[in-house]
Amino acid sequence: MDQIPAIAGVFAYLSLLTIGGGMAAFPEMKVLVIETHRWLTYPQLIHIYSVGQMSPGPNMMMVATIGERVAGIPGALVAAFAFFVPTGILTLAVGGLWKRLEQWPWRASIQKGLAPVAIGLAVAGLITFGRTAVTGWVTVAVALIVFAGAMRTRLNPALLILGGALVGAVALR
Amino acid sequence: MSEISILAIFGVFLQIGATSFGGGVVAYLRSALVTKKKWLTDTEFLELMSLSNTLPGLNATNMAILAGQRLRGTPGAVAAMIGMCLPALILMTAAGFAYGAEGSRPLVTAMLRGVAAAATGLIAATWYQIGKKTVKGFYEAFFILAAILGINYFKLSVPIVLLSVGAVSIFAFRPRKPGDHRKEEHAWIRSLQ
């Protein structure tokens, strides 16, 4: 229970970094959750993050899983609230303003300028993630096959991830 | 267009929040809001999408808020946001319980390792596709690389990279010539699809 304020602080801060998506915040999440607060081990974080990718709705609701692990249901609720509500209010405020800035020349500049930065941050997060998630030939093969499957087929990505679980069950024990 | 009820907005987003397995929430949103319900035009949807990408927060929730706001103001945004988040909140809290009970069963750990490897491949595919559409010249490629190196090579923190590379990048794409910015912005947004 004494971790509740820390949960609120960590996830509210992380949410501000999720430009373009949750992966951008992953390197910072790793530092705060693993090293600073020692709420999880690194493999646990990787597992929970990955399971979150299968969830319907926002794929970063895995913050509730971390909150639950640390402080039960109150922890889950605080983590989700901290992660989604402050940025939600920001989006609501900017959403109203944005329409009125239609003729502001910098509007396009901000969107064009942040697009590559968002991609770079996501790829950087993915590299941090992949260094631990992809080790040894089985996991390399799974990652490559899922990559190809997502690029070339219209299979539901959740099925590809479940396929990874099956391969893991057989080949990674 | 007759006014859309808050309950209808909540219902649609709850359905998407409960069924959009596997990531691609944006595709589910587009199909529901543009194709089925016709609450937004495709151009409106893409504009909101572009703003959603520019702001902190996930596309799933940012799009729920922006679309809900466009449809029924703040109450619409709140209804859409709650609908979008509720199923995942319940599911992922339950996942915490399950994970705690799992303990050290080797089978579960092995499956989770497979899931993590698969997630890596999936996320890589998503960003490869977004990257391919976004990179139109030297600047885009340069700033993507700058952000990656900042984090993974120079070990800078995310906010420092975001603020520094972001500021330089916005400056590099600064408005240059007078003219119809609106039209230009539109053309750019369309080109990302």
Concatenating the DSSP letter of every residue in A103-164 gives T-THHHHHHHHHHHHHHHHHHHHHHHHHHHH--SHHHHHHHHHHHHHHHH----HHHHHHHH
In sign, the C-alpha dihedral spanning B101, B104, B107, B112 is positive
The chain-wide mean pLDDT, for chain B, equals: 90
Chain B residues with beta carbon closer than 8 angstroms to that of A50: 112, 115-116, 118-119
Chain B residues with beta carbon closer than 8 angstroms to that of A117: 143-144, 147, 161-162, 165-166, 169
- Separation in Å, CA of A57 to nearest CA in chain B: 4
The chain-wide mean pLDDT, for chain A, equals: 93
Instruction: In whole angstroms, give the CA distance from residue A56 to residue A50.
Output: 13
Query: What total of structural domains would you count in chain B?
Result: 1
The proportion of chain B whose per-residue pLDDT surpasses 70, expressed as a percent, equals 96
Query: What is the pLDDT, as a whole number, of residue A42?
Result: 94
- Looking at the domain assignment, is residue A29 inside a domain? yes
CA distances from B138 to A31, B27, B119 (A): 32, 29, 30
- Looking at the domain assignment, is residue B79 inside a domain? yes
Average pLDDT over residues B29-40: 92
- Looking at the domain assignment, is residue A165 inside a domain? no
The proportion of chain A whose per-residue pLDDT surpasses 70, expressed as a percent, equals 99
- Looking at the domain assignment, is residue B183 inside a domain? no
Q: What is the span of the domain harbouring residue A62?
A: 4-104
Lowest-pLDDT range of A50-59, B148-157, B175-184: B175-184
**Residue environment code for A146-167, b if the CB has 16+ CB neighbours within 10 A, otherwise e:** bbebbeeeeeebbebbbbbbeb
Query: What is the pLDDT, as a whole number, of residue B179?
Result: 72
CB A173 within 8 A of CB B106: yes
Query: For the segment B124-138, what is each residue's pLDDT rounded down to a tens digit?
Result: 998 998 899 899 999
- Looking at the domain assignment, is residue A118 inside a domain? no
Show which of residues 1-30 on chain A sit within 8 Å of chain B, judged by CB atoms: 15-25, 27-28
- Separation in Å, CA of A9 to nearest CA in chain B: 15
- Looking at the domain assignment, is residue A18 inside a domain? yes
pTM of the predicted protein model: 0.91
Query: What is the pLDDT, as a whole number, of residue A78?
Result: 98
Query: For the segment A7-45, what is each residue's pLDDT rounded down to a tens digit?
Result: 999 999 999 999 988 999 999 999 999 999 999 999 999
Instruction: In whole angstroms, give the CA distance from residue B92 to residue B94.
Output: 5
Query: What is the pLDDT, as a whole number, of residue A155?
Result: 85
Contact A73 B166 (CB under 8 A): no
Q: What is the span of the domain harbouring residue B58?
A: 1-103
- Written as one letter, the residue type at A20 is G
Query: What is the pLDDT, as a whole number, of residue B152?
Result: 95
Query: What total of structural domains would you count in chain A?
Result: 1
Average pLDDT over residues B77-81: 98
Instruction: In whole angstroms, give the CA distance from residue B66 to residue B76.
Output: 9
Nearest to A166 by CA among A150, A136, A146: A146
Of the candidates A20, A27, A57, the beta carbon closest to that of B151 is on A27
- Looking at the domain assignment, is residue B87 inside a domain? yes
- Looking at the domain assignment, is residue A41 inside a domain? yes
Query: For the segment A51-97, what is each residue's pLDDT rounded down to a tens digit?
Result: 998 889 999 999 999 999 999 999 999 999 999 999 999 999 999 99
Cα angle value A136/A137/A143 (rounded, 5°) = 100
CA distances from A148 to A24, A156, B108, B159 (A): 23, 13, 25, 32
CB B128 within 8 A of CB B110: no
Query: What is the pLDDT, as a whole number, of residue A36?
Result: 97
> Is the Cβ of A101 closer than 8 Å to some Cβ of chain B?
no
> At residue B172, does pLDDT exceed 80?
yes
CB B92 within 8 A of CB A52: yes
- Looking at the domain assignment, is residue A121 inside a domain? no
